[in-house]
Amino acid sequence: MTKDEDRGGDLQRSLNAFQENIRRAGPAALAGYTLIGAILLLGGIGYAIDRWRGTSHWFLLAGLLAGLVVGFYELARTVWRSGGPPRE
Amino acid sequence: MAFQEPAAEHLAGAAAETFNAGRTILEHVSNSSREHPLIHLPTLAGIDFSVTKHVLMLWLVAGTVFVLVTWAIRRYLRQDRLVPSGFMNALEAIVEFVRDSIVLPNVGKKWVNTWTPLVLTLFIFIVSANAIGLIPIFDVLGVLNHWVLHAGEESFIVRVMHGGSTATANFNVTAALATITFLAIIVAGTKAHGFVKHWENLVPHGLAAPIYVILIPIELMGMFVRPFALTMRLAANMTGGHIAILAILSFVFLFTERFGTAIAGIGVGFVLSVPMAFGISLLEIIVVLVQAYVFSLLTAVFIGMAIHVHH
């Protein structure tokens, strides 16, 4: 095997490893984003309801709490689903 | 005194012209102003259809992708030999990659041909929109206008230079893409299990009744949170890289202003800003690909979750 072929093979292996890492990290990264997203989305909805109804922060607090619950639930689901979906 | 008034005006003018890095960066990543759209269109049912910079970029990306892909495929179908070449070869490699590496492992053999077109379209559109944002088309146009064209302030050329050129850095665009994913999840579940069964599959079976009172609202909220996370992730990543590059480049102007000489700015630019901005731009090329890949992958994962239910 020539040096160029060897270098090409290394690059190919690196790219494959990089792709594999991203493929595996994708759902895990989503769990992190879902946790923050749930808190932001539901907290935001709570804040909007507070502004609309003139209530002082009760809906914001409820939204943040609901966001935490939903976010952690989604996180737990991602962790539990470690095997991944089956190939048919 | 009479001479003090012009001096005061000059000072006020100079203060107004002070380089504001935050404002400049925001103007370069956000959409152009809705008050001064690029193309005026009528308001229908309370919705202003006027074209802003990001809408123009969306049209540009969609048009370019449509023309290029249609042209390559028509040319391939007209030729006698089956082996593709040139652009069609690259296109075929992308199609195979999306089908075999993204869709197939998640949705399975039975549904791969049903969902590959959607995921492929999302992938190619997002890659193209991300990549066009990296090419400094409008900055080159600005330099051309400054030295050659000298277009007026209200001309289309000057207006098109305002605002960022990465459509996927706009939360509305990514929200629309995530809405497509959201609807695809429902359609996938419905096609695989039927409408009622799909909604029943949202929660695990065989639990005590009081648990469902808690679980059903959590699952329903989770349904909306997942596309929201997709929306945030793509737009935030695309905006973040551009902000980093612009912040580093703004050192040139900040140092020029701080030390009152252009040499300080050029020195910082030469030693720090340009090499770092170059490095981050190289990283951005990876980000452009990775973000499109992750969006497509997660769409396939969600569709797969709706088809193969696990609790």
A1 occurs within a structural domain? no
The pLDDT of A16-36, averaged and rounded, is 77
Q: Is there a contact between B225 and A71 if contact means CB atoms under 8 Å apart?
A: yes
Tens-place pLDDT, residues B186-195 = 999 999 999 9
Higher model confidence: residue B32 or residue B260? B260
Q: Is there a contact between B222 and A74 if contact means CB atoms under 8 Å apart?
A: yes
A57 occurs within a structural domain? yes
Q: Read off the amino acid at residue B150.
A: H
Q: Is there a contact between A26 and B221 if contact means CB atoms under 8 Å apart?
A: no
Q: Is the pLDDT of residue B212 over 80?
A: yes
Give the one of A37, A81, A84 whose C-beta lies nearest to B225's C-beta.
Answer: A37
Tens-place pLDDT, residues B222-276 = 889 889 988 988 898 888 888 888 899 888 888 888 888 888 888 888 888 899 9
Q: What HEC string does B18-83 produce?
A: CCCHHHHHHHHHCCCCCCCCCECCCEECCEECCECHHHHHHHHHHHHHHHHHHHHHHHHHHCCCCC
Rounded-to-integer distance, Cα B112 and Cα B304, Å: 10
Give the one of B105, B297, B298 whose C-beta lies nearest to A87's C-beta.
Answer: B105
For chain A, percent of residues with pLDDT exceeding 70 = 78
In Å, what is the CA distance from B283 to each residue of B22, B238, B278, B279?
23, 12, 9, 6
Tens-place pLDDT, residues A48-84 = 999 998 887 889 999 999 999 998 888 888 777 655 5
A7 occurs within a structural domain? no
Residues B137-148 as b or e (16 or more Cβ within 10 Å = b): ebeebbeebeee
Interface of chain A toward chain B, CB-CB under 8 angstroms: 19, 22-23, 26-27, 29-30, 33-34, 36-38, 40-42, 66, 69-71, 73-74, 81, 84-88
Which residues in chain B are closer than 8 Å to A38, comparing Cβ atoms?
221-222, 225, 228-229
Q: Is the pLDDT of residue B6 over 80?
A: no
Give the one of A22, A84, A88 whose C-beta lies nearest to B294's C-beta.
Answer: A22
The count of domains in chain A is 1
Rounded-to-integer distance, Cα B21 and Cα B1, Å: 35
Higher model confidence: residue B158 or residue B61? B61
Number of H helices and E strands in chain B, helices first, is 13, 2
Rounded-to-integer distance, Cα B48 and Cα B59, Å: 17
- Domain residue limits at A32: 27-80
Tens-place pLDDT, residues B111-149 = 999 999 999 999 999 999 999 888 888 778 878 887 887
Higher model confidence: residue B21 or residue B183? B183
